[in-house]
Amino acid sequence: MASNIPKPEAVQALAQSTEAGKVVMLNLLKFKASDGAASYMEYVRRVTPILERLGARMIFAGPVTTTVIGDQSWDSILLVEYPSRKSFVEMANSAEYQAIHHFRDQALERSELHAVSPTGGFVPEAKS
């Protein structure tokens, strides 16, 4: 079952990452049928000033119109670029963000959040 709660080990790995530079967070969003999209828009309205103060920015948002490959269906995707992995983790743990996060929780039936390196190669290097 999908969860809207980050895995502590994933957040810790992100915080301890030695990868320098920007990170893009890919948000896959499935809204709750009753007022989910409206609640998410309120979350976006409130999180935008926090992002701006961090030097982060939303670089793309759009509705999913057709699922071509895969079993999951999503209503929307959102790409947010952060100056660093550390800035994302600091924001997510801040009291200011925690005070508005409930709008996101109220909005989503399920979600996925992926940290993407905007400067890396297309295919990840093999791990030994």
Sign of CA dihedral 71, 75, 80, 84: negative
The domain defined by 20-116 folds into Alpha-Beta Plaits (3.30.70)
Q: What angle do CA 76, 2, 33 make, to 5 degrees?
A: 50
Where do the domains of the chain lie?
20-116
Could you report the per-residue pLDDT of 63-117, keeping only the tens digit for each?
999 999 998 899 999 999 999 999 999 998 899 999 999 999 999 999 999 999 8
